[in-house]
Amino acid sequence: GESVGLHLPTLSVQEGDNSIINCAYSNSASDYFIWYKQESGKGPQFIIDIRSNMDKRQGQRVTVLLNKTVKHLSLQIAATQPGDSAVYFCAEGLTGGGNKLTFGTGTQLKVEL
Protein backbone atom coordinates (compact mmCIF):
# COMPACT_ATOMS: atom_id res chain seq x y z
CA GLY A 1 0.00 0.00 0.00
CA GLU A 2 0.98 3.63 -0.08
CA SER A 3 3.09 5.00 2.71
CA VAL A 4 4.18 8.37 3.88
CA GLY A 5 7.24 9.37 5.81
CA LEU A 6 10.21 7.62 7.34
CA HIS A 7 10.90 5.75 10.55
CA LEU A 8 10.46 7.99 13.58
CA PRO A 9 13.66 10.05 13.83
CA THR A 10 14.63 12.60 16.44
CA LEU A 11 15.80 16.10 15.67
CA SER A 12 17.55 18.08 18.40
CA VAL A 13 18.03 21.81 17.96
CA GLN A 14 19.16 24.67 20.11
CA GLU A 15 16.61 27.25 21.15
CA GLY A 16 16.60 30.07 18.64
CA ASP A 17 17.91 27.97 15.76
CA ASN A 18 15.85 27.06 12.72
CA SER A 19 14.46 23.53 12.43
CA ILE A 20 13.84 21.56 9.27
CA ILE A 21 11.72 18.45 9.40
CA ASN A 22 11.52 16.28 6.30
CA CYS A 23 8.98 13.87 4.96
CA ALA A 24 8.76 11.62 1.91
CA TYR A 25 5.48 10.56 0.39
CA SER A 26 4.79 7.98 -2.25
CA ASN A 27 1.29 8.62 -3.60
CA SER A 28 1.80 10.93 -6.56
CA ALA A 29 -1.96 11.43 -6.81
CA SER A 30 -2.20 13.19 -3.44
CA ASP A 31 -3.23 16.78 -3.94
CA TYR A 32 -2.87 18.25 -0.48
CA PHE A 33 -0.45 17.85 2.37
CA ILE A 34 -0.65 18.82 6.01
CA TRP A 35 1.75 19.15 8.88
CA TYR A 36 0.50 18.28 12.34
CA LYS A 37 2.11 18.82 15.74
CA GLN A 38 1.43 16.37 18.57
CA GLU A 39 2.46 17.26 22.10
CA SER A 40 2.74 14.56 24.73
CA GLY A 41 -0.66 13.34 25.88
CA LYS A 42 -2.56 15.38 23.31
CA GLY A 43 -4.12 14.92 19.93
CA PRO A 44 -2.49 16.11 16.69
CA GLN A 45 -2.86 19.82 16.05
CA PHE A 46 -2.98 21.36 12.56
CA ILE A 47 0.00 23.57 11.74
CA ILE A 48 -0.12 24.32 8.03
CA ASP A 49 -1.23 22.78 4.78
CA ILE A 50 -0.22 23.07 1.15
CA ARG A 51 -1.94 22.10 -2.08
CA SER A 52 -0.13 20.26 -4.83
CA ASN A 53 -0.33 23.27 -7.16
CA MET A 54 1.97 25.19 -4.81
CA ASP A 55 5.60 24.62 -3.87
CA LYS A 56 5.84 26.90 -0.87
CA ARG A 57 3.54 28.26 1.78
CA GLN A 58 4.35 30.38 4.79
CA GLY A 59 2.65 30.76 8.12
CA GLN A 60 3.66 32.28 11.39
CA ARG A 61 7.26 31.10 11.97
CA VAL A 62 6.61 28.06 9.76
CA THR A 63 7.19 27.39 6.08
CA VAL A 64 6.22 24.28 4.18
CA LEU A 65 8.02 23.34 0.99
CA LEU A 66 6.71 20.80 -1.49
CA ASN A 67 8.84 19.13 -4.14
CA LYS A 68 6.57 16.97 -6.24
CA THR A 69 9.39 15.82 -8.48
CA VAL A 70 10.99 13.85 -5.67
CA LYS A 71 7.82 13.53 -3.58
CA HIS A 72 9.30 15.42 -0.67
CA LEU A 73 7.77 17.72 1.89
CA SER A 74 9.53 19.78 4.52
CA LEU A 75 8.53 21.92 7.47
CA GLN A 76 10.78 24.77 8.48
CA ILE A 77 10.35 26.33 11.90
CA ALA A 78 12.09 29.64 12.44
CA ALA A 79 13.60 30.59 15.80
CA THR A 80 12.65 27.31 17.43
CA GLN A 81 11.25 27.65 20.94
CA PRO A 82 10.92 25.15 23.80
CA GLY A 83 7.18 25.07 23.15
CA ASP A 84 7.89 23.65 19.71
CA SER A 85 9.07 20.38 21.27
CA ALA A 86 6.67 17.72 20.02
CA VAL A 87 6.23 14.99 17.43
CA TYR A 88 5.58 16.37 13.96
CA PHE A 89 3.64 14.43 11.37
CA CYS A 90 3.21 15.00 7.69
CA ALA A 91 0.02 13.72 6.13
CA GLU A 92 -1.24 13.48 2.59
CA GLY A 93 -4.75 13.58 1.27
CA LEU A 94 -6.69 13.36 -1.94
CA THR A 95 -9.65 15.60 -2.66
CA GLY A 96 -12.66 13.38 -3.16
CA GLY A 97 -10.99 10.59 -1.23
CA GLY A 98 -13.31 11.06 1.72
CA ASN A 99 -10.88 13.46 3.37
CA LYS A 100 -8.83 10.47 4.41
CA LEU A 101 -5.39 11.46 5.67
CA THR A 102 -2.42 9.12 5.36
CA PHE A 103 0.11 9.98 8.04
CA GLY A 104 3.84 9.59 8.09
CA THR A 105 5.56 8.06 11.07
CA GLY A 106 6.51 11.37 12.63
CA THR A 107 9.63 13.20 13.78
CA GLN A 108 10.39 13.97 17.41
CA LEU A 109 11.65 17.54 17.74
CA LYS A 110 13.60 18.32 20.91
CA VAL A 111 14.53 21.89 21.68
CA GLU A 112 17.55 22.31 23.91
CA LEU A 113 17.95 25.38 26.05
Partner 1 sequence: DTAVSQTPKYLVTQMGNDKSIKCEQNLGHDTMYWYKQDSKKFLKIMFSYNNKELIINETVPNRFSPKSPDKAHLNLHINSLELGDSAVYFCASSQHGGGNTEAFFGQGTRLTVV
- Contact positions vs partner 1 (CB under 8 A): 8, 32, 34, 38, 41-46, 49, 87, 89, 91, 93, 98-103, 105-106
Q: How far is the CB of 29 from partner 1 (least distance, A)?
A: 15
Helix (H) or strand (E) holding 72: strand 72-77
Closer Cβ to partner 1, 25 or 89, answer by number: 89
Closer Cβ to partner 1, 83 or 100, answer by number: 100
CA distances 32 to 40, 91, 110, Å, are: 26, 9, 27
7 CB neighbour count, 10 Å cutoff = 8
Closer Cβ to partner 1, 76 or 103, answer by number: 103
Q: How far is the CB of 16 from partner 1 (least distance, A)?
A: 27
* Contacts (Cβ under 8 Å, ≥6 apart) of 33: 25, 49, 50, 52, 64, 66, 73, 90, 91, 92, 93
Q: How far is the CB of 105 from partner 1 (least distance, A)?
A: 5
